[in-house]
Each structure stands twice: as C-alpha cells, then as structure tokens.
Amino acid sequence: MDLEKYVKNFDFKKIIKIEESDRQFLALKNSWKKIKKIQKNKNLFVRDGRDLSRSAGAVPLPITNNQLLITNLFLFLILQNALISYQIAWSWERWWEEFASKIVKDRDRLQQMFEVDESNVDRWYKFITSSKHNKRIYNIKIGRLKRFEEFKNCLKKNSFEKYYNDMEKLLYDIAQTMGNWHETKTLTFAIKMFGYGARIVFKKFIPYPDNIKIPVDSRLIKIYESNFKHWEKLLNFDEHWKGRNKKINEKKIQDYFHDLAKKNKIPALHLDSLLWIKYRGEYF
C-alpha cells in the first residue's frame, strides 16, 4: 500500500493507542509496576547513603525522596539501555523485555549504587555478556555507558521531569555528553524510549517535539525501498563492493520521513511507532 495514503488513515489519537501497545512500552510499564510494588512493601532505611533495612541507627528515608530516587533511577537506566540498543541478536522487543525483567530483579542493588553516585557499568558488563539478545560488540557498548556516566552532572541542574517537558534539551545534553551529532539514530531512539518511561512514571502524556527526527535503521530503509522504485537515487554506489554493500544516504531518507510526519501533523518519533508496530506488522 502507498505509504503516504496509509499514514493518512490514522489520526494522532489512534497512533498513540497503537504506540502504547508496543511490546517495549508494555515491558517498561510492567517493570515500573513491579518496582513500585516492591517499594510499597519495603521499608527502606538508610545511614550514610547505605541501605540498612532495620539496622540499629538507621532512619526511614522519606517517601517523597525515595519516590524521586526510584523515578530517576528508572529513567536513567532506560537511557543507558537505549544507547546500547543496536546490533541486537534477536528482536528489539525481546531485548527490552529482558532488560525490563533484569532491572526488577536488581532493583535494590541498582538503587544503592545510584543513590551514592556509584557507577553501575560493571553491572552492565555482567548483564550484557550473559544476555540472550545483546552480546555483540559489548566492549564498544560498555565504552558508551562509561561516557554516559557524565550525564549525571546534567541531572544536578535539570530534573527528569523538566527534561520530559523539554525533550529537545534532553537530546542536546545527551549529544554533548556522548560527543555525537544530535540526529544520530541511537540518540533519537533514546529520546523515544525516555518518552515511554516518562509517560509511565509521571502519568501524563507529552508528545515528542516536532524537531526531533526519526531514527533511520534497516527497517525504515526497507519501508522506503518498498514504496519507491526510484530509491536507488539515494544511494552512493561503490564499485569496489559491486553494489552489494551500498552506502545509503540516511540523511535524505530521514528528511523524507520528517516531511511525511509534518504533512500529517505527527511528530516524527510518533510516526516511527506507527511504522514500527502497525505498518511493518501488516506489510513485512
């Protein structure tokens, strides 16, 4: 089916409903529900930044502070995971389901580390190297997580709730931290997954900014190819590779989808959800 005609069949409300059926969204929602339940049933006591449960001399951590801590941890972990969500061995859905399950199991230790500003990169190393879905190029991914540790400095100036209200600022700060161009697909994907998480924890919907472009990956390229016979015009041919490993001009494809989103008055990251969940499921 013609892609542009297909997109016109969906208004914004329908797209959000489709988006919230995404297995990645549901995995995070279920994870947060379990984390909240654990927190509700647990009396967390602290002394010198350590979890001491009911040890002598411990004092209860105020509920409001504890809620903020858990919220910040949850959203920080989502950003970490999004930044290493590439070269996945299986589907992204399975990887995010694995991640969501893992952070529930490790919640207490992750919270202790986050509270005292201790790096969790070694814990990520153990997780990735034993993962069913994300073992590839793990050393490079660990390097990305180490760089992202510096983002904690941004959190001293901006709360995640403020970032949710200004996701362009979040994208800019992450790009500065990682030393990447702000339109890099892993960074824009990180904003998308942050939006999922923030929508869940803050219990309110804020649409993605119109100016954040869609993350172009192999699935979007396939969608583009299937809709345009002239797609080869977007390719830079390398005779040495006989055309098999064609270098695709992702910027032009990204601009096409951004224009399509604008025409339909849909932020590009929400259009991405329609293409990823609905269109891909029906035509691929």
- With residue 235 as reference, give the H or E element that holds it: strand 235-236
Q: 127-165: b or e for each residue (b if 16 or more CB lie within 10 Å)?
A: bbeebebbeeebeebbebbeebeebeebeeeeebeebbe
48 is catalytic: no
Which amino acid belongs to residue 102?
A: K
Q: 33-53: b or e for each residue (b if 16 or more CB lie within 10 Å)?
A: ebbeeebeeeebbbeeeebee
d(CA 152, CA 45): 24
d(CA 235, CA 247): 6
Among the listed residues 51, 106, 210, 217, the single catalytic one is 217
d(CA 274, CA 184): 20
102 is catalytic: no
Q: Are 51 and 111 in contact (CB under 8 A)?
A: yes
d(CA 274, CA 222): 15
Among the listed residues 36, 169, 185, 252, the single catalytic one is 185
Catalytically annotated residues: 185, 217
